[in-house]
Homo-oligomer: A and B are copies of this chain.
Amino acid sequence: MSTSSDSKTGKPGATVREKIRAQYAALTQSERKFANALLANYPAAGLASITIVAASADVSTPTVARMVQKLGYKGYPQFHRALLRELEATVSGPTQRRANWASEVPATHLLNRFVTAIGQNIEQTLSNIDTTQFDEAVQVLADTDRRLYLVGGRITRALAEYAFTHFQAVRQRITHMTSSSATWPHYLLDMEAGDVLLMFDVRRYETNLQRLAELAAERGVHVILITDQWASPVATVAKHTFHCWVEIPSAWDSNISTMMLLETLIAAVQEENWPETRARYERLDEIFDAARLFGK
C-alpha cells in the first residue's frame, strides 16, 4: 500500500498528524521537538502564529517554517489552513468529544476496546496500592546489603527478565532465577536471611512458585509478590503483596498494569539512590560504547 513517494511527501489528503508520522524519521532534532509539542496538544498547538507556536515549543521560527515545508506545505499559512480544515471536519463530525482519539481509531475497533479495558485496569491497580507498602517495598529493593532474587511464572518470566535488565542498571547483587524449577534448590542454598525475592505470580498460579516462596520465607527471605487481583497463594508468606488488575476482552490476561507497577518500582528504587544509580548509568554507557567498537 505505502509507496516510497508517499513516505517523502505524504498523501495529498493525509492529515497533518499522518504527515508528521510519515516524515518523522526525516525530521531533525528541533523539528521533532516541535512535532512532539504539536502532537501533544493537537491541533491547538499549531493554530497560533508561527512566532507563538515556535516559542511555546522552544524552537526558532525558521525551524517551524522548514518543517512545515518538509511536510509538503508551501508555507506556514498553508499548514495553518490545513489544520483548520481538519478541525472543522472533526468538530462537525459526530464524535466531537473524543475527537483526538476517534479521528483515527473508530470506537468499535479492537484497539479502542482494548485501551479502554487497560485504562480501567491501571486505574483499579493504582487505587488499590497502599503507598506505605509501596514505599516500604522500595526501601527493601533499594537496599544493596540484601541480595535480590527475581523469578516469574510461565508468562511472567518475561516480566522478571525485564525487571532484571533494569534493576541491573540500578543496583548490583541481583539474580534472575531461570524459570526451570530444577535449578531453584541451588539458589535457595545461597539465600540468606534478609535477602529479597521479588516474585511474579498471576493465574494460573504455579505450585512450584508457591513451594519456592515457602522455602525462601522459612529461611528469612523477604518475599515481595506481584500478583493479580485474585491473589496467588504465595500472598500468605509474602511480606509485601501488590495486586494488579489484569482482565481484558480476551482469552488471556493483560500484564500492562503489572508492568506499570514494575516500572514504577524500578523508577522509585532508582530515585532512592540517585547519585549511585547515575554513576552506574554513566559507566554502563561507556561500556556499551566500548562494546560497540568491539563489534565492528
Contacts and interface: CB of A to CB of B under 8 A. Distances in A.
A104 B84 contact: no
Interface stretch (A184-192, A214-222, A245-253): A245-253
A111 B93 contact: no
Contact of A131 (B109, B230, B231): B109
A95 to B, nearest CB: 9
A110 interface: yes
A100 interface: yes
Interface residues of A, number: 100
Contacts of A235: 25
Interface string A164-199: 011001000000000000000000000000000000
Interface in A76-128: 80-81, 84, 87-88, 90-94, 97-106, 109-112, 114-115, 118-120, 122-124, 126-128
A59 interface: no
Mostly, the A contact residues are helix
A48 B127 contact: no
A18 B243 CA distance: 12
A94 B98 contact: yes
A128 B256 CA distance: 19
B231 A25 contact: yes
A41 B122 contact: no
Contacts of A50: none
A154 to B, nearest CB: 7
B236 A87 contact: no
A273 interface: no
A40 interface: yes
22 contacts: A1-B136, A17-B128, A21-B130, A21-B243, A40-B124, A41-B92, A43-B91, A44-B87, A47-B47, A47-B84, A104-B130, A104-B131, A105-B127, A114-B263, A118-B122, A118-B260, A157-B161, A207-B292, A249-B267, A255-B259, A256-B259, A256-B263
Interface of A: 1, 17-18, 21, 24-25, 32, 36, 39-45, 47-48, 80-81, 84, 87-88, 90-94, 97-106, 109-112, 114-115, 118-120, 122-124, 126-132, 134, 136, 154-155, 157-159, 161-162, 165-166, 169, 204, 207-208, 229-231, 233, 235-236, 243, 248-252, 254-256, 259-260, 263-264, 267-268, 270-271, 277-278, 281, 288, 292, 295
Cβ-closest 7 pairs across A and B: A158-B162, A103-B127, A158-B161, A44-B88, A25-B231, A44-B87, A250-B267
